[in-house]
Amino acid sequence: MANSYDDEDLKLAMALSLQQSPVPKPCKAVVDLTSDNAGEADDEDESLKKAIALSMQDMVRSSNTLTQQAAKSATSSASNPSAGTSFPMDRKAMEAERLARLKERERKRRRTPSPDRPMKLQSKARAPAPVRDSTRLQPHSESALQYPRGAIKRTFATKFPRTDDVTIDELLQASTVNIAVISSFQWDAEWLGRKLSHTKVKQHWIMNARDAETQARWRKDLTGCGIPNLRINFPPMNAAVGNAHSKYMLLVSDRKLRIVVSTANMEPVYWGEVENSWQPGVLENSVFLIDLPRRADGLVGSVHELTPFGKELVHFLEVQGLDAQIVKGVLKFDFSETSQLAFVHSIGTTSDTDAHPTGLPGLARAIQDLQLDRVKSIEFDYTASSLGAVDETFLQRICSAAQGLSYSATSKTTNLGQNFRIYYPTEETIKSSIGGPDCAGVISLRKAHYSSSTFPVKCLRDYVSTRKGMISHNKLLFARGRQVDGKLFAWVYVGSANISESAWGAQKVLKSGKLGKLTMRNWECGVVVPVPSERLEGLQLAEGEAPPMSVFEGTIEVPFQYPGEPYKGRTPWLQNS
Catalytic residues: 245, 473
Using DSSP, state whether 281 is helix, strand or coil.
Answer: coil
DSSP 175-212: TTEEEEEEE-SSB-HHHHHHHS-TTTSEEEEE----SH
Residue 247 known to bind ligand: yes
Among 438, 428, 433, CA closest to 22:
438
DSSP 517-559: --B--EEEEEEEEEPPHHHHTT----TTPPPPGGGGTTT----
CB atoms within 10 A of CB 99: 10
Among 572, 185, 560, 247, CA closest to 390:
572
Kindly report the backbone phi and psi dihedral angles of residue 76, in degrees, each rounded to the nearest multiple of 5, phi listed first: -90, -15
The angle formed by the CA atoms of residues 29, 390 and 36, to the nearest 5 degrees, is 65
Among 116, 128, 247, 231, CA closest to 187:
247
Residue 332 known to bind ligand: no
CB 382 within 8 A of CB 478: yes
Integer Cα distance of 111 and 123 in angstroms: 13
Q: Are strands 375-383 and 420-423 parallel, antiparallel or unpaired?
A: parallel
Beta strands, E only, 35-132: none
Rg of the chain on CA atoms, in Å:
24
DSSP 562: S
- ω before 228 within 30° of 0 (cis)? no
Integer Cα distance of 411 and 130 in angstroms: 61
Kindly report the backbone phi and psi dihedral angles of residue 75, in degrees, each rounded to the nearest multiple of 5, phi listed first: -75, -35
Kindly report the backbone phi and psi dihedral angles of residue 25, in degrees, each rounded to the nearest multiple of 5, phi listed first: -65, 155
Beta strands, E only, 391-443: 420-423
Annotated binding site: 247, 475
Annotated binding site for substrate: 247, 475
